[in-house]
Structure 1
């Protein structure tokens, strides 16, 4: 009986002993995301310009980060142009084009020809920018290729810049692009919901 009681006491005391560290506890010590504090920071976005730990769906775990960054930059640039065009076209009409106050009606007003020119023109640009490679697997087969850098700098803004200055310019482009993606979505939603021009 005394032996059984002693064994019970020793086993209950073992429950209060410090647990051995294992690989399972490392997840609890993981760095948390800056943008979503209740999620762990994505490991594959670290070191990229503009990283704030925002990848709630874990895209960076399944896709090449170069491809993801290229996609973000292209969508950002398109959104910046779209946001500007959405506002400007309410005040400026190109020669030979009908005057349209409602930006959402512009494609129907100008007809299919200009829209097809844009579609095929951008298709050729995409084909050229990817050197004819259109899949994720071989898009960055050239390891020296930098996402979003197509050598287009007519104003020479990148000449003579240090690595820190270039990183600062890239950060500004990413931030403005992210804002523009939200902005064009908001402008289109406003137009659809209210049925009125932006201004």
Structure 2
């Protein structure tokens, strides 16, 4: 009889425990900004990562080791995108003002034409140097701190940061990482701007494919005739639209 009562008590407590955990998770989701207001974030995205808004529909970061890799991959791509987008906009604006810069889409081709070094030598050198650096970074990702002082002739000793992906020293001249609150805020700002830059770069590629012009040229044309020069009238984005 005692065993039966204990079993019945366990069955009555179990649903309440599960419901309680769900309620706690729901409240946790409601207390943080999410990509879709009111949605339930995945259990593995608890809001501790910079720029975590609970978006992972393909479960790409569900495994802890893969999540570490995805965080670093996004960060590196975001930084390259910010540099690339800023460079495209700067050279496009300068070209509109008479500077001898080629269209961003042809810049690589023009650089190869005028380079004193053969293309094969450039590719080999980049593969060698980038491969070495990226291998070191991969080892440090898998085992933080394993790439100790003096691993690169002592050059990197003054670039130590607090965590993977965030070097300090010369890369933090304003000491922003010394204050935890400002460091946390800066990480969120960086990844948000980086995500915007990645989307912008995809837009630049799509624009050039449709119009064969730079983003600044597209903007100038749109401002000059905003009702007739749009994404819907370029003849590519919305097929057959201009026929009506």
Which shifted more, 113-122 or 78-87?
A: 113-122
Query: In structure 1, the residue corresponding to 2:72 is in which secondary structure?
Result: helix
How far is 1:125 from its partner? 4.2
Query: In structure 1, the residue corresponding to 2:170 is in which secondary structure?
Result: coil
Q: What do you get for the CA RMSD once the two structures are aligned?
A: 3.7
How far is 1:42 from its partner? 2.0
Q: Output the CA distance in 2 between the equivalents of 1:87 and 1:118.
A: 26
> Could you say if the C-alpha distance between residues 42 and 194 of structure 1 is closer, same or farther in structure 2, counting changes exceeding 3 Å?
same
| Residue segments in structure 2 that go unaligned for 5+ positions in a row | 1-11, 147-161, 217-244
Moved over 6 A (4+): 22-28
C-alpha contact (below 8 Å) 2:91/2:104 kept by paired residues: yes
How far is 1:71 from its partner? 0.8
Structure number with greater Rg is: 1
Matched, 1:54 2:71: no
TM-score, with normalisation over the residues of structure 2?
0.57
Which shifted more, 118-127 or 152-161?
A: 118-127
* Alignment correspondent of 1:182: 199
Q: Output the CA distance in 1 between the equivalents of 2:177 and 2:210.
A: 48
Alignment of 1:86-97 (within 5 A): 86-92=88-94
> Could you say if the C-alpha distance between residues 28 and 132 of structure 1 is closer, same or farther in structure 2, counting changes exceeding 3 Å?
closer
Determine which structure has greater relative contact order: mean sequence separation of CA pairs < 8 Å that are 6+ residues apart, divided by chain length. Answer: 1
* Alignment correspondent of 1:173: 190
TM-score, with normalisation over the residues of structure 1?
0.68
> Could you say if the C-alpha distance between residues 23 and 189 of structure 1 is closer, same or farther in structure 2, counting changes exceeding 3 Å?
farther
**Structure with greater helix share of residues:** 2
Q: Output the CA distance in 2 between the equivalents of 1:25 and 1:51.
A: 25
Alignment of 1:28-177 (within 5 A): 29=23, 30-31=25-26, 34-37=34-37, 40-46=40-46, 47-62=48-63, 63-92=65-94, 99-100=101-102, 102-111=103-112, 117=122, 120-121=125-126, 124-125=129-130, 127-128=132-133, 130-131=135-136, 133=138, 139-142=141-144, 146-151=163-168, 153-154=170-171, 156-158=173-175, 161-177=178-194
Aligned pairs, number: 174
| Residue segments in structure 1 that go unaligned for 5+ positions in a row | 1-17
How far is 1:198 from its partner? 1.8
